[in-house]
Amino acid sequence: MNLIEQVLVNKKTRLNPIWIMRQAGRYLPEFREIRSKNTDFIKLCLNENLTTEITLQPLKRFNFDAAIIFSDILMLPYALDQKVEFKKNYGPILGDLDIKKVSSIDEIDFIKKIFPVYKAISKVSQNELLKGKSTIGFVGAPWTLLVYILNKKSPKKELREDFFKDQFLINRILDLLDKFLKIHIKNQIENGAKVIQIFDSWAGLLDEKDLPNYVYIPTLSLVDYVKSLNIPVICFPRGISNYKDYCEIVKPNAISIDYNIDPTKIIKEIDIPVQGGLDPKVLLTDKDNLKKEIIRYLEIFKDHPYIFNLGHGVLPETNPEMMEYLVQTVKEYK
């Protein structure tokens, strides 16, 4: 059992495995080179050879304990025939969702549309670089995907005014997402994913009273499903303030915390393994400051099962030398 799985399943402390959200991507010059020649992001995500290469790039440079497949949570609405494109310096733009059409999509059509993603996971998990390391698959949480599907773009700070007006449509979409997210998860696991992470990037947009309907219940359904396949699951409900209730209701194997959360509060409230927390902006400072922040997190969680990660994805302007120093510092900590 690899280090990350030992923390997630056996709740081992003092192992300090490390992987980083968006560890494969824009801060690496070798990725930027590939991206400059492949301007269509969706097509890039569907190129199994290039996504395999991109996924492995950070493992060639740094001593990470896992590879997370280079893909996107919006591959799911794409597989449901919603138009998805990525505009430079703007982000994703989605077309209208034809709910009748989506209701008629079967499992085979869905898998066929994004099959290269699963092939890439298979190739990554069998690569020499992954010996003794974990392959991580992931999905967007139902709420976050609902936000993109209905909002048709990144909501930034708030949802459009009429977001909740058609409750029938919302419930229909959530039902369909539950079905197809489970298919997506199953195929990732069958192709070699040993851990699944559920990204709820827009959980923080909801009032506390709305969390049960839109976050807790739909995410719990996925968590139970992943566990039924004997695979550990990490949840990242970014932006919520009540991690205690989330963990008690959703019951993931580990909770990934964002950088606005006080880790000393988390350690008092949360029994399950914890992941992440470090502000990605710290990597843009200097090595002394970075080391101080790394040690702070490692000290707080030294007697608690903990996976080192950031409180969000690595920023594109990060110097790879700072990433090297981060990994080295975590690995040398005793």
Q: For the chain, which residues make up each domain, given as ranges?
A: 3-332
Q: Which long-range contacts (CB under 8 A, 24 or more apart) does 69-72 make?
A: 69/117, 69/120, 69/121, 69/124, 69/135, 69/136, 69/137, 69/138, 69/188, 69/193, 70/24, 70/25, 70/45, 70/120, 71/45, 71/117, 71/120, 71/138, 72/41, 72/45
Contact 58/136 with Cβ under 8 angstroms?
no
pTM: 0.98
SS3 70: coil
Percent over 70 (pLDDT), the chain: 100
Predicted local confidence at residue 300, as pLDDT: 98
Residue 158 binned pLDDT confidence (cut-offs 50, 70, 90): confident
Query: 3-332: which CATH topology?
Result: TIM Barrel (3.20.20)
pLDDT at 171: 97
Is-contact 193 137, C-beta < 8 A?
yes
**Residue 157 pLDDT > 80, yes or no?**
no
Which residue in the block uniquely carries the two structure tokens 């470090």? Answer: 278
